[in-house]
Amino acid sequence: MTSAQKRALDELWPQFGIDSTGPIDFQQLFGRDCPVVLEIGFGNGESLATMASDNPDKCYLGVEVHRPGVGNLLLNIERSGQANVRLSQADSVELLNKQIPDDSLSAVQIYFPDPWPKARHHKRRLVQPEFVQLLRRKLKAGGTLHLATDWQEYADHMLDTMEAAEGFANSAGSGQWLPRPGWRPITKFERRGLRLGHRVHDLLYTKL
C-alpha cells in the first residue's frame, strides 16, 4: 500500500466507507433516491470511478477486500469530487445477506473475478448457482447482472450457470455472448488478459 492510499483510507473512509453491519438505507446513504449499482470486486477501482463519473444519475456501491485497491479508488474519488460512490470492505456474501435489502439493486457488476483455474479450486469461484439466486433476490425486477471474464473455461462455466438460472433472461439471446459494451471501461485485469491473447467474454442478464 502506498502512503497516498493509506492517507486516503485514514481520511476519506469515514466519508465514503460503510462500517456498519446492519441493513443499508440507500436513500440515506447517498442522500437521494437513485438507481443503485453494486460492483463486486472492483480491483483498483479505476473502471468503477469512470462509470460513476460518466453516470452521475446513478449511485455506485463497490465492495472489495484488497485494501490498496480501496485506497486507490478513494484517491480517484477525491480527485474527481464524485459524490455518487460508496465503498465496503465486507465479504460480498455477508454484505448481500445482511446489509442489502431484497429488490433494491438496479444492477450488479462482476468484472474479471478470480477464475480459480485449478479444478480442485473451482468450488471457490464466485459465480455459482446459489450465489446467482442470492443476487436475483437483491435485484429489482428488470435489474441486470453483468459478468465479464477473459478466462475461457470460467466463461463457459458462467454461461452454463446463468443459462440454467431461474428468473433471468440473456439480453444477447439464449446461449449467446454480449459484444463488449462501450459503456464498460477496460479494466486493469482485462488489459493484462488482452496482452496474453485472451478473448474477453461479456454476459448481461435481466431479472424477469
Distant-in-sequence, close-in-space partners of 194: CB < 8 Å, separation ≥ 6: 150, 186, 200
How far apart CA 151 and CA 201 sit, in angstroms, is 8
Listed residue (48, 126, 143, 131) closest to 86, CA to CA:
48
- Cα dihedral sign, 115-120-125-127: positive
Q: Buried (b) or exposed (e) across 142-161, using 16+ Cβ within 10 A?
A: ebbbbbbbbbeebbebbbeb
Strand partners, 59: 36
Tens-digit pLDDT string for the chain (208 aa): 899 999 999 999 999 999 988 999 999 999 999 999 999 999 999 999 999 999 999 999 999 999 999 999 999 999 988 899 999 999 999 999 999 999 999 999 999 998 877 888 788 899 999 999 999 999 999 999 999 999 999 999 999 999 999 999 999 999 999 999 988 988 877 888 788 888 899 999 999 9
CA–CA gap between residue 78 and residue 207 (Å, rounded)? 34
| Residue 49: predicted pLDDT | 94
Q: Which amino acids are annotated catalytic?
A: 114
CATH ID of 3-207, from 3.40.50.720, 3.30.870.10, 3.40.50.150, 3.90.1010.10: 3.40.50.150
> Alpha helix (H) ranges present in the chain?
3-16, 26-30, 46-54, 67-80, 92-98, 129-138, 152-164, 188-195
- DSSP SS3 for 66: coil
Give the predicted TM-score (pTM) of the model: 0.94
Cα separation, 106 vs 141, whole angstroms: 8
Return d(Cα 93, Cα 110) in angstroms, integer: 13
pLDDT at 194: 83
Q: In the chain, what are the domain boundaries?
A: 3-207
pLDDT at 112: 92
